[in-house]
Amino acid sequence: MSLPFKDVNPQKLSRLVEISRILNSATSLSHLLNYIIGEAAKLIDTEAASILLFDSRTRQLYFMAASNEDHGQLTRTPVPLDNSIAGAVFQANRPMIIKDVTKDARWNQDIDQAIHFQTHNILGVPMRNVKRRPVGVLEAINKQGDGHFQVEDIETLSILADIAGVAVEKARLIEELRRANRELSELDQIKSDFISIASHELRTPLSVILGYVSFLREEADPEMASQLNNVMDAAVHLRTLIQDMVNLRYVDAGEDRRQQERLNLVDVVREMSLQRDETAAAKQQTITLDLPSTPLPILGDRGMIEMIINNLINNAVKFTPNNGRIHVALVPKDGEAWLSVADNGIGIPRKDLDRIFRRFYQVESVLRRRYEGMGLGLSIVKDLVELHNGRIWVESKKQAGSRFTIALPLHQR
Ligand code: ADP
């Protein structure tokens, strides 16, 4: 049985293993390419080496790195697939030796002229990806010594080119991912900017409407007053929607806005008078409270903690039918305060349990919605909880009810 690379000496093989390790950990394409050509020229003992990569959109090869030029003049110079040495290696997908380039009609001397170099002979090998399809060409130029490439040179350069092909493809994918990531963050920024501009611009005319309606209502006869009540209700509803958008901005400002103080969470919950929630009363729902007799100190921003609890209560009220029950419980647990808001409302399907914490996510489809809202509340709650080094999760069963729990670290002095 013959070994695939029987002509490569053991020292070179161990060097190749070391190169493979380095290439695998590299993520910047240009560093990677320069490293490969440096190693190629050393391993094969040639004056220079260069790499051309294939661009599938233009279907041409492009010089990406060359060790015989100093100023990157060659970078991105196109080389056609037909009628070029690199193109022939690429299309045949196998190594080629050109002993004397001057006798080869495919040889293009313009490149030499551009970089003041003289090419005599070339060993070109395809660089292949994991599927063994060519992604580029690695060329070793001007063999030193007697000027003749040996079988060992072909095998050594082929191994290097294959390792390099896989590494190059990986680095390209990483660069693509980075670019996509950058674009996503830009989009996210645009969305946040839009939300803050829109909420700001909507607030001013809305306060004018609210002001005039309440003034007109005082002057109006009973029939007119009842119609103005409807206008008022709609405007107040609009104000809560806009408040959600404003809150989003508040959350995005994150730690800058947080005003930490030592709070007794038991007092905060008690003082929020949850049991007297007007919307719950209108739906004849009962809210019960179960608070411990000992204080539960946390380090937090009071406004933010109240916003978290309000959001959970409002959701429980909204997604629970008339006469439903809502239970708020607070307990200490392993160095944390666990606050849960449980309802016996419509519940949440299992597949949506994680998604409801994302911005703008709602279980009901937009077209068949029964409940108002923008799908922002829980994402704000989650951000605020995390800003306090806490966690939030939900347990729920469709048609049976939901229990949201937040765990916040207790503050020990
Ligand atoms: P909004 O209530 O404004 O739609 P949220 O971010 O507060 O947005 O909630 C996202 C979605 O999670 C809601 O649209 C609803 O489908 C679901 N949800 C939240 N709380 C409850 C609850 N207590 N019971 C059932 N579903 C809920």
Report the distance separating Cα 269 and Cα 157, nearest Å: 71
Q: Are 289 and 326 in contact (CB under 8 A)?
A: no
Whole-number pLDDT of residue 2:
46
Task: DSSP for 227-262, please give it.
Answer: HHHHHHHHHHHHHHHHHHHHHHHHHHTGGGT---EE
342 CB under 6 A from ligand 1?
A: no
84 CB under 6 A from ligand 1?
A: no
Q: Are 390 and 409 in contact (CB under 8 A)?
A: yes
Distance from residue 315's CA to the centre of ligand 1 (Å): 6
324 CB under 6 A from ligand 1?
A: no
pLDDT in tens, 307-348: 999 999 999 999 999 999 999 999 999 999 999 999 999 999
Residues of the chain with pLDDT under 70: 1-5, 255-256, 366
346 CB under 6 A from ligand 1?
A: yes
Q: Are 386 and 408 in contact (CB under 8 A)?
A: no
User: Going by CA atoms, what residue is nearest to atom 4 of ligand 1?
Assistant: 375
401 CB under 6 A from ligand 1?
A: no
Whole-number pLDDT of residue 1:
42
How many helices (H) does the chain have, and how many strands (E)? 10, 13
245 CB under 6 A from ligand 1?
A: no
Whole-number pLDDT of residue 261:
94
Report the distance separating Cα 89 and Cα 107, nearest Å: 13
Distance from residue 249's CA to the centre of ligand 1 (Å): 20
Choose among 87, 117, 85, 113: nearest CA to 101.
Answer: 85
User: How far is the CA of 17 from the CAs of 8, 41, 150, in angstroms?
Assistant: 13, 17, 21
357 CB under 6 A from ligand 1?
A: no
- Residue from 356, 376, 402 whose mutation best tests the ligand 1 pocket (most atoms within 8 A of CB): 356
Choose among 99, 217, 79: nearest CA to 149.
Answer: 99
Has this prediction a pTM greater than 0.75?
Answer: no
Report the distance separating Cα 108 and Cα 52, nearest Å: 15
**346 secondary structure, DSSP code:** S
Distance from residue 379's CA to the centre of ligand 1 (Å): 10
Q: Which residues pair with 122 in a beta bridge?
A: 98, 141
Whole-number pLDDT of residue 255:
67
264 CB under 6 A from ligand 1?
A: no
Whole-number pLDDT of residue 5:
63
Q: Is the dihedral of CA 200, 251, 379, 188 positive or negative?
A: positive
363 CB under 6 A from ligand 1?
A: yes
Beta strand ranges found along 144-266 (DSSP E): 261-264
Q: Using CB atoms within 10 A of its CB, is residue 98 exposed (0-12), middle (13-18) or buried (19+)?
A: buried
373 CB under 6 A from ligand 1?
A: yes
Distance from residue 362's CA to the centre of ligand 1 (Å): 6
pLDDT in tens, 245-300: 888 777 777 766 778 899 999 999 999 989 889 889 999 999 999 999 999 999 99
Report the distance separating Cα 404 and Cα 4, nearest Å: 62
